[in-house]
Amino acid sequence: MATNETKDSCFFLTDFFSKCRRRKRCGRRAAQSSTPLSQSCCHGRFRVCSVNGDRRTCARMANLGLLPGRELELLCKGNGQQCMVKVNGGTISLDAPTASSIMVAPV
């Protein structure tokens, strides 16, 4: 595991330094159990761990297919702000408070 991490954080010719740093940061977060969707800093597939927030928000998310256990694709990362996800074939934009109430883990 440690070897992989060292390999991932290496500076390759095709990678920019900043890109490498971001991957490292994401990797650390991914290692944690779950993070708010708004804090996810890498594009890619995630699994919904839980949907927090008020009942109405949870219900709306459920109608859109954002349910615990479902997979989603992060198209436009939040970095603490609004984000765009692909779920059930549809593209959904979520504002910062809503995105922060969805806990995800990388697939």
Partner 1 sequence: MKTALTIALAGNPNAGKTTLFNHLTGARQHVGNYPGVTVEQKEGCCLHKSKGLRVVDLPGTYSLTAYSVEELVARDFIINEKPDVVVDVVDASNLERNLYLSCQFLELGVPLIIALNMVDVAEKRGLAINTEELGQRLGVTVVPIIARTGKGVDELLDAVLRLSEATTTPQPAFLRYGSDVDETLADMREDLELLDELRAIYPQRWLGVKLLENDEQIVQKAQATSPEAAKRLLARCDEVANHLQHTLGIYPEAMIADHRYGYIKSVMHKGVVTRKFVGDRLYTSDRIDKVVTHRLLGPLIMALVLFALYTFTFSYSTVMVDWLASFFSLINTTIDGLLPDGPVKSMLISGVVDGMGGVMGFVPIIMFMFFGIAVLEDSGYLARVAFMMDRIFHFFGLHGSSVMPFIVSGGIAGGCAVPGVMATRTLRSPKERLATLLTVPFMNCGAKLPVLTLLIGTFFSAHQARYMFLATLLAWIVALCAAKLLRMTVLRGESTPFVMELPPYRFPTIKGLFIHTWERTWQYMKKAGTVILGISILIWAMMTYPGLSDQDLAHFDAARQQAEKTYTSGSEELNQALGKIDADQALMRLKHSYGGRIGVAFEQFSQYAGIDWRTNIALIGGFAAKEVIISTLGTAYSLGEVDSDDSTSLSDRLAKDSSWNPVKALAVMVFIMFYAPCFVTVVCIAKEAGSWKWAAFSMAFNTFFAFIMAVGVYQLGALIYL
Q: Please give the residue ranges that form the binding site for partner 1 (CB under 8 A).
A: 43, 50-51, 53, 55-65, 67-69, 73, 75-76, 79, 81-82, 84, 86, 88-98
Measure Cα distances from 89 to 9, 72, 76, 77 in Å. 33, 9, 15, 18
Of 20 and 92, the one with the shorter C-beta distance to partner 1 is 92
Contact between 36 and 95 (Cβ < 8 Å): no
Least distance from partner 1 to the Cβ atom of residue 73, Å: 7
Q: How far apart are CA 67 and CA 22, in angstroms?
A: 28
* Backbone torsions φ then ψ of 88, nearest 5 degrees: 55, 35
Of 9 and 16, the one with the shorter C-beta distance to partner 1 is 16
Least distance from partner 1 to the Cβ atom of residue 7, Å: 25
Of 30 and 103, the one with the shorter C-beta distance to partner 1 is 103
Least distance from partner 1 to the Cβ atom of residue 50, Å: 5
Least distance from partner 1 to the Cβ atom of residue 97, Å: 6
Query: Which of 46, 63, 52, 60 is CA-nearest to residue 104?
Result: 46
Of 5 and 45, the one with the shorter C-beta distance to partner 1 is 45
